[in-house]
Amino acid sequence: MTDLAEHFARLKWVRGEIRRLDEQVTAYTQSNPLEVRWSYDLMRANPTRIYKLHLRDPVPEDISIHAGVILNEMRAILDALTVTLAARNGHPDSTNTYFPTGKTKAGFESRDVQRKIKKLSDQDKATIAALQPYAGGNDMLYALHSSDLIRKHQRLIVLGGEAAEMVMGSDGGWFLDGSKIHFINAGPGHPIDQPIAQLAADYHIEFKQDAVVAFSEPAAIKAKPLITTLDDFAGLVQSILKLFVR
């Protein structure tokens, strides 16, 4: 594993950075960036209160920047792996050698993409091809590549998590009565500024909502929690490195 030692060391650094980022994300979500707002819908036969989540504080820029650095390093590890594989095949000073990906299988198999690994052995080329690093093949692997490409302008989003606290009441005092609440989209992962609950206008609920920081794109990881997804990416990179341990 000598010639891959640096790659594994870089991945270890990545995992440490994910844990540090997790601390940043936790501090942000515990600051209660979400609040529940309500308004009357008087167009209905029975006046109704409509409840929506509102983002009070957006995701701090340092979280987005930190996530981008982590994504870039994981993608760079795969490129470094490919250079190492070229060196094993007698090309120690290889240039224009990168880990190949494609928007489609045909794109991956195109001459321009395959040129990136022309200095690798046939066995290593076959191993990479078996990973299916294209959309519709290994979607997570392609998502890692896409996320790195768009990291400079990628927007992290905040979704609602579990309801942290909830009480319900009317003019007669506070009590729980779930039959009078209609939850529209209140499960984990629901979007901001969309109705999450409604009930008769003479009742009222008050609740706090946990926040989840998630990716906005690409499609394969859209709305997936940031830290969980980065951990999944790190696990994927590690599994690829292990394929080439000699």
pLDDT, residue 155, reads: 79
pLDDT, residue 190, reads: 65
Separation CA 234–CA 168 (nearest Å): 43
pLDDT, residue 151, reads: 73
Separation CA 235–CA 141 (nearest Å): 11
Separation CA 38–CA 98 (nearest Å): 52
Per-residue pLDDT tens, the chain, 246 aa: give them. 589 999 999 999 999 999 999 999 999 999 989 888 888 877 777 778 888 888 889 999 999 999 999 999 999 999 999 999 999 999 998 889 999 999 999 999 999 999 999 999 999 999 999 999 999 999 999 999 999 988 766 678 888 776 554 555 544 444 444 445 555 555 556 677 777 777 776 666 776 778 899 998 999 999 899 999 999 999 999 999 999 998
pLDDT, residue 25, reads: 97
Q: Sort strands 48-55 and 181-183 into parallel, antiparallel or unpaired.
A: unpaired
pTM for the predicted model, two decimal places: 0.85
pLDDT, residue 119, reads: 97
Residue 104 near residue 134, CB atoms below 8 Å: yes
* Tokens describing residue 153: 């302008």
DSSP annotation string for 42-111: TTSSS-EEEEEEEESSPPPHHHHHHHHHHHHHHHHHHHHHHHHHHHHTT-TT--S-----BSSHHHHTSH
